[in-house]
Structure 1
């Protein structure tokens, strides 16, 4: 080639590589600057379709949102003027409609019928909710629907108002509740992106250097993977979506997949002349890279069928990240390799790994038997799997917000709650006193159950009924009943009584009883729901027939319980869906039904083995652990695809055979095993940066994913050759030792 043509071609390549990189870098910067989060949206962690969710939405429509913040400080007594200042400013400064109303102990003393009873009696009736030890009170800030959806904004607004009104250095200042916990989660997501993503990239690049031993090659790997990771962030933010507790792992996964794919391309380009590096890498690598990306994207897209919004969005944008990753691998990496690197040396073939193949080939039946026994033993733990989705389990106990909850509960009372709804059909307004008495009696019985620590209903806002005997007592009770009938409409303002009309025109009256228990208490919601239902039924049938009442339970706590029950079914469905799509793709890629089936066994083995072990250990399955199986399947199948397709190509080149020969397996093993080892270690070491994260759902996700990938590597290096030789799907061509 004339020097002038070579110079022009080199200049054109430089221009293409620089333009690609600059465009990618610009997209990364714009996308990262627009990051917004939505962990505060509680509904993303709950299944979309269930009777319980419909009931909860009915609760919200009748009584308002049960999402609240509680504020107190040392010296927060009924007469503290700062308390009124906080309440006034919360209403006056709320331009975005985040706060529905505020209630404090002082408000209850002022408006709750002090003419009928002493302040001490009122305080005692609301103790554990609005009054604590030494009669210290608190402010309950009830959020609107908008405030619940945008918990972070609500928390920031409340915190600003409270600290300005009370003083930022006020001793014992506590602002607690699920919105405060969500705000803390938002901070942790951002910390994941800043504190874990960079170490992840650096660790993965360091391991890549260990295997490549060439800084120019490492630079190509880092640039390709860095741009792919950054643009995966941009694809979320520029599309208008927000980051959730799971999506913070997408850039790390994209980076790791890009490192893996680029490493395989470098492996394909070894030994090629400098001018043909890009062409050789693309000729040998485009097909396995595309098929690997396709199978990985499919496994992640299977999550988009989940009933959980958080899992759906994670799966969809993971798949988008995979497609984005393979684009940069094929469109940028080969040309950057040819531009930056010289001739890529053939390198070491991994003689020890080849010897492991030869041993496996000679003892294939034994290896297959060992893996089979391991699979049977661990699979026995699958029926023992249990789900766990408590919000507080997403964080470490050392989080300041969690500690503040414990301090608040020690001073005032428990803050975790569910709701019991008692609906009275054809409710006569004149008989409201009887229904109030039934609710009081029910509350007394509920507090005696071990699952419930305190209760609150609209009866707390009612004056006490006279216990005087004789004619005077009868007259007092008649007047009391008339007064309660007049107070019936006012009670709806407490958010604990709802008046509605049925389609037939009958008046229905729904009483809401809040059941509270400590946030740190490990609650068996199944037992709680059963116990409360039994007690409510036993107490109410003493006064009313079954056709006069309806008993229902709801609340965010019970919704999370429903989510736990659905999570396991969701996990198995998503995994089976991924398998059902990936398996035919592998058959198509290998042009063989037996080879496609056998190639899936090493990729399914890790999930069965690991989740079975989790079941035997007794560790509950949270969302992070649940989705790790599908993600691991998608990543692990990459190495299998590269190995099997390389073996098919070698077999065809050797003799045009449509079957994989033993010699082709050995040659492909020697060429791919080192890259398979490198990609797995790169992914595992990179993901290790997330293991010490305070956001435990990410930490557990990373741990399960790392273990899955390591087991998959062992399966690819040992089980896959054993399967190929045991089931005689290869041509029996002798292998030279």
Structure 2
């Protein structure tokens, strides 16, 4: 009776599915329509990936900075390095371009050579006035423009590093967008529809190549690249996996239903994003493709099982029932382990990773039910498989491959262990070479014009990624105290000594410029005022700052005059280099600014991203251990045998170690994209283990608990499906290597490699371990009766099966 009840559960599910086909199809249609209506809620993320928890101290400091000074990533820079720039035609076109940009409501401030202002002393008002640096009426004279260039480079140190590079002769303009639109869709509309066309018009008119960069510009074009790749990945993965599916089964109708199922799965994924009001990020953008790559193997396994059953007894009804009753639990468990690999990200405190984990795991589980329900229903309406559709079960290349696996396991088990141990030791040495990277722009597409522009600004102006330092004097108007300014000057000298950082910008620059202006613009006086000069020079500077509505320095002191802001820009540097720079800056800051009198905070988007990468690295081991623990519990639940847990983990941990070794040897760093590889690949690789062990348990029962006979029967029975599904997964994840994003390429390539090693490990090392670790098995007591039925069927069950 106990066995009948256990068999009856999946038979009951099979009968519900096959007796209520139209009703179930209607329910699927309703769900699809409902989730399709949620697409209207889908939005794209307009900010960089924040990998840190909201309550992390680094995030709190960054948010406090934004509250005080507003969005720091609102600067767009337009650069040029061309001798033709200081000619009447080009300069007139430049003046027109900057005037048009300045007139846009989306632009807060433009600082450019054509309307540059310089400080002039007004003795009568005891203040400085901003007067035009360029007389527009004279710009038709080429000699005048050359004199302007010379005067700028020699007498305007205040703008050096901001508007020009004295050494290389590069020129740029600083365009500050309205902070309210920086993290909205309006930013994209402005840059794509208005800003870029103006840049292109200038280039067409003058023949001068302009370089454009800055975080708002980079974010926009990078986001557009991600959106374009979503359709590329979906199309390429669907085409490739469908072709492989057709190659295996040589059946248009089998291929058609597989495509239909994964397309519905993709629609459900987008619907879930809309239902939960999640944004499309660089991670969630990958989920639709993952659904296709994981869904096709599900279809392969179920279709292959249907054809195997029909080939065995020729009864279509029984074959359809057994697709559900014989593999229901095993397929459920394989999908749960895959989902568990993604679900491990839910335990992190990062919202970005949580959303990715939730959407991917829900999509995978939903896909399982779609496959398990739709495939039997579909084939119930189709004619029985023809002989040509069953040829793949005995195709020559699959038979040769499986025979080779059998011979290797039977006669060369010792060599399998030697190779496995050798690969493990070599991989450990490689894994020790792995470096980390926390760069915001490292994974951006290298062949795009905006990335080449990033490189230009790194070479000419030491980078475009802002690093922000705030100095709290703990008293109102404390920033303008000469003692504070001197400390800031000493600290900024340290910043200037670091080659990866640009010349810093702060209120200090204005104070130095004020002294230069006081001495009639003599650049030799671009320095802090002395104690004797401070009373009148600082009063001039305060009045200038107070009276100027269009002052570039207005965002570098808070409204109370208590907190000063120092901005510098970084080159594209790795996590290790960033940590060294940070340590050097903190060492100087702690020395210059006593903690009892000053509070110093280092923040900025680049630093937050670097800390987020480090957070992921710190949580990598715990996340992977959680995945191992979760999947081990599923194994215990399935087999109720600790020995089987050990047997199942070893063949799947070895491929992960090999992947880590390859990363070390080939210089692929640990970064947000590659960190995901291990949990995802582990969850996918374990699927083959479950298929193998589940089939092994059935063969034990059918072969009177004879281990060796059961192992080789399992290889013959499950080997083809494991081979097919692994090939599809390998090819599917290889699609990500079409990406222009380095991180996505690394993610796809590394997972594909891991799964290839995982297939060989599960087909060779796993049966060897089963044979070795179960030598003492004399009867079925090694396999305690599991909590749930897994592929356990006998003649009594067959008698229960009734045709539709």
Q: Is contact 1:132-1:413 (8 Å) kept? A: no
Q: Post-superposition shift, 1:574?
A: 1.1
Shift of 1:428: 6.5
Per-residue deviation at 1:477? 4.5
TM-superposed CA distance for 1:139, in Å, is 3.5
More deviation in 518-527 or 189-198?
A: 518-527
Conserved 8 A contact 2:655-2:754:
yes
Counterpart selection for 2:268 from 222, 225, 231: 231
Give the Cα separation in 2 of the matches to 1:560 and 1:235.
27
In 2, the alpha carbon distance for the partners of 1:551 and 1:209 equals: 63
Q: Using the TM superposition, name which of 560-569 and 714-723 deviates more.
A: 560-569
Query: 1:67-216 maps to which residues of 2 (within 5 A)?
Result: 67-72=73-78, 75=90, 80=95, 82-90=97-105, 94=106, 101-105=108-112, 109-110=116-117, 112=119, 115=122, 116=128, 119=133, 120=152, 123-131=156-164, 136-144=171-179, 146-150=180-184, 152-162=185-195, 168-170=201-203, 172-216=209-253
Q: 2:555 aligns with which of 495, 517, 521?
A: 495
SS at match of 1:44: coil
Q: CA deviation at 1:654?
A: 4.2
Counterpart contact for 1:303–1:311, Cα < 8 Å: yes
SS state at 1:691 partner: helix
Residue of structure 2 equivalent to 1:728? 774
Shift of 1:355: 4.6
Shift of 1:520: 8.2
Partner of 1:613: 662
Q: CA deviation at 1:650?
A: 2.7
- The 3-state SS of whatever aligns with 1:516 is strand
TM-score normalized with structure 2 length: 0.78
Is 1:696 matched up with 2:734?
no
Contact 2:473/2:479, CA 8 A, preserved across alignment: no
Partner of 2:797: none
Offset of residue 368 of structure 1:
2.3
Aligned to 2:565: 512
Higher deviation after alignment, 425-434 or 524-533:
425-434
SS at match of 2:670: coil
Choose which of 312, 317, 323 in structure 2 pairs with 1:275: 317
TM-score, normalization by structure 1: 0.85
- In the superposition, relative to structure 1, how do residues 481 and 461 fare at CA in structure 2: closer, same or farther (>3 Å)? closer
The 10-residue stretch of structure 1 (448-457 or 281-290) with the greater mean CA deviation from structure 2: 448-457
**Aligned equivalents of 1:80, 1:521: Cα separation in 2:** 38
Q: Name the CA shift for 1:220/1:161 in 2 (closer, same or farther; >3 Å).
A: closer
Q: Which deviates more from structure 2 when the two are superposed, residues 162-171 or residues 553-562?
A: 162-171
Q: Is 1:404 paired with 2:453? A: yes
2:642 aligned partner: 593
Offset at 1:89? 2.1
Aligned residue for 1:649, secondary structure, equals: helix
Whether the 8 Å CA contact 1:13–1:339 is kept in 2: the answer is no
Cα deviation per residue 1:196-254 (whole Å; 9 max; x = unaligned)? 21121121111122222233322332222332233223222343222111222212221
Q: How far did residue 683 of structure 1 move?
A: 1.2
1:516-575 superposed Cα distances (whole Å, 9 cap, x missing partner): 34458999212221232334455x37xxx5532333322122222212322222222211
Moved more, 579-588 or 301-310: 301-310
> Residue 342 of structure 1: SS of its match in structure 2?
coil
The answer to whether 1:51 aligns with 2:57 is yes
Q: CA deviation at 1:60?
A: 1.5
Q: Is the 8 A contact 1:433 1:485 kept in 2?
A: no
Number of residue pairs matched? 698
Separation in 1 of the partners of 2:600 and 2:663?
37
Q: 1:13 to 1:219 in 2, by over 3 A?
A: farther
In the other structure, the counterpart of 1:4 is: none
Is residue 342 of structure 1 aligned with residue 362 of structure 2?
A: no
CA distance in 2 between counterparts of 1:77 and 1:535 reads: 46
Alpha-carbon spacing, 1:10–1:55, altered in 2? closer, same or farther (3 Å): closer
CA-CA distance at 1:718 after TM superposition? 0.6
Gaps of 5+ in 2: 1-15, 80-84, 123-127, 134-151, 780-804
Higher mean alpha-carbon deviation, 295-304 vs 490-499, is at 490-499
SS of structure 2 residue aligned to 1:392: coil
Query: Is contact 2:257-2:375 (8 Å) kept?
Result: yes
Q: 1:217 touches 1:341 (CA, 8 Å); kept in 2?
A: no
Q: Is 1:242 equivalent to 2:257 in the alignment?
A: no
Task: Give the direction of change, closer, same or farther, for the CA distance of 1:308–1:612 in structure 2 (3 Å limit).
Answer: farther
Counterpart Cα distance in 2 of 1:534 and 1:397: 35
Q: Which moved more, 1:700-709 or 1:203-212?
A: 203-212
